[in-house]
Amino acid sequence: MQKQWWKESVVYQIYPRSFKDSNKDGIGDLQGIISKLDYIKDLGANVIWICPVYSSPNDDNGYDISDYTGIMDVFGTMEDWEQLLKEIHQRDIKLIMDLVPNHTSDEHPWFIESRSSKDNSKRDWYYWRPGKDGKEPNNWESIFLGSAWQYDELTDEYYLHLFSKKQPDLNWENPEVREALYNMITWWLNKGIDGFRIDAITFIKKKEGLPDAPNLLGARYVPAWDCHRNQPGIQNFLSELKEKVFDKYDIMTVGEADGVNPEGSLLYVDETEGKFNMIFHFEHMGLDSGPNGKWDVVPWQLKDLKKVMTRWQVGLHEKGWNANYLENHDQPRSVSRFGDDKKYYQESAKMLATFLMTLQGTPYIYQGQEIGMTNVRFESIDDYRDVESLNLYHENEEKGNESIQKAWEYIYAKGRDNARTPMQWNDQFNAGFTDGTPWISVNPNYKEINVDKSLNEKDSIFHYYKKLIQLRKEHEVFVYGDYRLILEDDDQIYAYMRSLEKEAILVILNFSEKPADFVLPKDLSYTNQSLLIANKKVSSNEELNMFALHPYEARVYKLT
Ligand code: TEU
Ligand code: CA
């Protein structure tokens, strides 16, 4: 396996709007980030991924871009950004930016031109279609609900938007669009950044003819994944992007690849043929969804988590590379979702940290994860900001009380604002995030959960993460070792071996709120055991062959 800096890295993800406000307007900004770089350095992350900071009317918090080469006013100026890059590099950290090539804002000059008339030279830069029988051109549902088409009176046609109606999809079939995007990407790379996280990349190819999706239940709009996600032909676009742009730089690229499975992933991340270094898959994020998608909330099962993660771990071994994450700005907080944010809060947050940091692949830590930030339950819909959750709420509002109750349940479980409440820096006013009024309220638990406290307590979740990051740096086996699942059928314990030549690591995780009996498989022979890290006190004379794990206990042994 080839050694690469991005395989050995630990990434810290920043959602700028919610990270740190420097000028009291209630919105996180670039100077705020600069003021906290030493904190990230102290944690030990050596790559920062920063969510979009480009000019945007903020319908989807920066994922609706109106100027790809401008900085969003409320975040600062290009000078601030340049200072940020410089200060990041001075600390020996790398910076990857978010790249959003599937759509622009409807306020982007390209779209304004495109919308202006049917014969405008940029008309074909987006998907414009006439209505069908007085209705939308097809029955596709937007990923953010409602129709994926928006009617525009001016030219009496509809435009396609897979996300919000302020995010019209670019037409990648048009070579001028691709060229314009490549120029923009090159422009950023020439500024000296170290790579990109590529947003919603599996959506850039649409099914030929934009046909209706199968509609068994006769719904007005239907999810149309099989028409717009990971479609045949997409790899041609990605190869071109790679050859014309990415290949010319020593950068790290991670594609956000909803709808890709381990088998199909090699087209994306094969060591030689792949178009990206790694991708974010969604298979583990789907484990608490039923057949009807994200808002069909069901309990997740450990056996499924093992199956999914193992297929990726084994499937990519020596062929490609994994990007591992348990939460991000689109997902609930992992301790609330896969752990227990009440009774076994500390234990389960650390257990999940152990899991994330000991898998094969590059780990991504989302801001606040390192101090165990949790989901939030605001009581009024006025406290929510996310366009997706608001759409869900309003769609259900029309259907009456019972539906509203359901909507609340879904928003509490899966709403994206769970991860977007301000970073909790201390127990002071607004958790130290802002001296003004925050754009979204602070999670009321900031007095118990905050950075100051986590830094001061030596057994904190923060220090545990820090130690795990250190271990990854000290033992190559964590990065390059293979992965082998053991105790496959155990329904409480998730355990695996990581091995590299003579180095072997045993990871034991109790994913349940009950004690669990661990029995070492007979075929695992070793002469010496040493405990590298654990989230509970382990007595030094404990036998490794058989012992009882506490709820959510995690242990990592080195075996020789
Ligand atoms: O997300 C795209 C995506 O496929 C999902 O993460 C989706 O937004 C989510 O499942 C909805 O519940 C990316 C960004 O990460 C997200 O923040 C943006 O809203 C979206 O693209 C549009 O740019
Ligand atoms: Ca600000």
Q: Name residues contacting ligand 1 (CB within 6 A).
A: 60, 63, 100, 143, 163, 199-200, 256, 258, 294, 329-330, 388
Whether residue 511 contacts residue 338, with contact meaning beta carbons closer than 8 Å, is answered with yes
Does residue 117 sit in the same domain as residue 96? no
Kindly indicate the confidence band of residue 543, based on its pLDDT and cuts at 50, 70 and 90: confident
Does residue 392 sit in the same domain as residue 365? yes
Q: Look at the chain and report how many structural domains it folds into.
A: 3
pLDDT at 420 over 90: yes
Does residue 79 sit in the same domain as residue 146? no
Task: Note down the domain range covering 73.
Answer: 11-104+174-465
Q: CA 535 → CA 62, 155, 326, 504, distances in Å?
A: 38, 62, 18, 20
pLDDT given at position 527: 86
Does residue 331 sit in the same domain as residue 422? yes
Whether residue 291 contacts residue 301, with contact meaning beta carbons closer than 8 Å, is answered with no
Q: What are phi and psi of 79, to 5 degrees?
A: -65, -40
Does residue 362 sit in the same domain as residue 415? yes
Residue 69 lies in a domain: yes
pLDDT at 541 over 80: no
Q: What is the CATH number of the domain that holds 297?
A: 3.20.20.80
Residue 303 lies in a domain: yes
> Hey, what are 261's tokens?
């499975």
**C-beta neighbour count of 232 within 10 angstroms:** 9
pLDDT given at position 540: 75
Bridge partners, 420 (sequence order): none
Does residue 325 sit in the same domain as residue 275? yes
Select from 58, 141, 163 the residue to mutate for testing ligand 1; criterion: most ligand atoms less than 8 Å from CB: 163
**pLDDT tens-place string over residues 423-440:** 999 999 999 999 999 999
Does residue 209 sit in the same domain as residue 153? no
pLDDT given at position 163: 98
By the CB criterion, residues less than 5 angstroms from ion ligand 2 are 21, 23, 25, 27, 29
Residue 2 lies in a domain: no
The rounded Cα 129 to chain-centroid distance in angstroms is 33
pLDDT given at position 404: 96
Residue 439 lies in a domain: yes
Which ligand 1 atom lies nearest to the CA of residue 144?
11
Q: Of the ligands numbered here, which is closest to the C-alpha atom of 197?
A: 1
Question: d(Cα 261, Cα 283) in Å, to the nearest integer?
Answer: 7
pLDDT at 227 over 90: yes
Q: Are strands 157-160 and 195-198 parallel, antiparallel or unpaired?
A: unpaired
Which ligand 1 atom lies nearest to the CA of residue 200?
2
Kindly indicate the confidence band of residue 385, based on its pLDDT and cuts at 50, 70 and 90: very high
DSSP code of residue 422: P
Question: d(Cα 142, Cα 139) in Å, to the nearest integer?
Answer: 10
Instruction: Please identify which of the residues 199, 288, 330, 347 carries the catalytic annotation.
Output: 199
Looking at ligand 1, which residue's alpha carbon is closest to its atom 18? 63
Q: Of the ligands numbered here, which is closest to the C-alpha atom of 280?
A: 1
Does residue 119 sit in the same domain as residue 266? no
CA angle 389, 392, 395 (to 5 degrees): 150
Residue 271 lies in a domain: yes
Long-range contacts of 394-403 (CB under 8 A, 24+ apart): 395/145, 395/146
Kindly indicate the confidence band of residue 228, based on its pLDDT and cuts at 50, 70 and 90: very high
**pLDDT tens-place string over residues 358-384:** 999 999 999 999 999 999 999 999 999
State the distance from the centre of ligand 2 to the C-alpha of 418, rounded, in angstroms.
Answer: 21
Does residue 487 sit in the same domain as residue 538? yes
Q: What is the CATH number of the domain that holds 156?
A: 3.90.400.10
Does residue 40 sit in the same domain as residue 136? no
Question: d(Cα 8, Cα 377) in Å, to the nearest integer?
Answer: 37
Beta carbons within 8 Å of 140's beta carbon, 6+ residues apart: 147, 148, 149, 160, 162, 210, 212, 213, 221, 222, 224, 227, 228
Does residue 238 sit in the same domain as residue 330? yes
Q: CA 517 → CA 34, 142, 297, 512, 527, distances in Å?
A: 47, 47, 30, 12, 22
Looking at ligand 1, which residue's alpha carbon is closest to its atom 21? 200
Rounded to an integer, the average pLDDT of 302-331 is 98
State the distance from the centre of ligand 1 to the C-alpha of 388, rounded, in angstroms.
Answer: 9
Rounded to an integer, the average pLDDT of 296-301 is 97
Question: Which residue's entry shows tokens 């259900």?
Answer: 396
pLDDT at 549 over 80: yes
Question: d(Cα 202, Cα 307) in Å, to the nearest integer?
Answer: 23
State the distance from the centre of ligand 2 to the C-alpha of 361, rounded, in angstroms.
Answer: 34
Question: d(Cα 103, Cα 99) in Å, to the nearest integer?
Answer: 10
Question: Which residue's entry shows tokens 């600069």?
Answer: 34
Beta carbons within 8 Å of 542's beta carbon, 6+ residues apart: none
**pLDDT tens-place string over residues 186-221:** 999 999 999 999 999 999 999 999 999 999 888 999
State the distance from the centre of ligand 2 to the C-alpha of 188, rounded, in angstroms.
Answer: 24
Q: Catalytic site residue 256?
A: yes
Long-range contacts of 20-25 (CB under 8 A, 24+ apart): 20/423, 20/425, 20/433, 21/433, 21/434, 21/435, 21/436, 21/438, 24/434, 24/435, 24/436, 25/74, 25/434, 25/436
Q: What is the CATH number of the domain that holds 505?
A: 2.60.40.1180
Residue 165 lies in a domain: no
Rounded to an integer, the average pLDDT of 376-393 is 97
Full DSSP string of 490-557: -SSEEEEEEEETTEEEEEEEE-SSS-EEEE--TT---S-EEEEEESS---TT--SSEEEEPTT-EEEE
Which of 261, 265, 241, 264 lies closest to 251 in space, CA to CA? Answer: 241
State the distance from the centre of ligand 2 to the C-alpha of 169, rounded, in angstroms.
Answer: 30
For residue 486, how many C-alpha atoms fall within 13 Å in the half-sphere facing its CB?
18
pLDDT at 258 over 90: yes
Residue 470 lies in a domain: no
Whether residue 258 contacts residue 284, with contact meaning beta carbons closer than 8 Å, is answered with no
CA angle 483, 488, 493 (to 5 degrees): 95
Looking at ligand 1, which residue's alpha carbon is closest to its atom 7? 330
Instruction: Please identify which of the residues 60, 64, 98, 256 carries the catalytic annotation.
Output: 256
Which ligand 1 atom lies nearest to the CA of residue 103?
23
Where is the domain boundary, 434, 465, 496?
Answer: 465
Which of 15, 14, 59, 66 lies closest to 40 in space, CA to CA? Answer: 14
Where is the domain boundary, 94, 128, 160?
Answer: 160
Kindly indicate the confidence band of residue 1, based on its pLDDT and cuts at 50, 70 and 90: confident
Residue 24 lies in a domain: yes
> Hey, what are 115's tokens?
């919308």
State the distance from the centre of ligand 2 to the C-alpha of 61, rounded, in angstroms.
Answer: 14
What is the SS3 assignment for 180? helix
Whether residue 510 contacts residue 351, with contact meaning beta carbons closer than 8 Å, is answered with yes
Looking at ligand 1, which residue's alpha carbon is closest to its atom 17? 330
State the distance from the centre of ligand 1 to the C-alpha of 387, rounded, in angstroms.
Answer: 11
Select from 199, 228, 337 the residue to mutate for testing ligand 1; criterion: most ligand atoms less than 8 Å from CB: 199
Which ligand 1 atom lies nearest to the CA of residue 258?
4
Select from 330, 393, 410 the residue to mutate for testing ligand 1; criterion: most ligand atoms less than 8 Å from CB: 330
Select from 54, 143, 225, 230 the residue to mutate for testing ligand 1; criterion: most ligand atoms less than 8 Å from CB: 143
Helix ranges restricted to H, 274-383: 302-316, 334-337, 345-358
State the distance from the centre of ligand 1 to the C-alpha of 192, rounded, in angstroms.
Answer: 26
> Hey, what are 46's tokens?
């050596």
**C-beta neighbour count of 35 within 10 angstroms:** 14
Does residue 99 sit in the same domain as residue 116? no
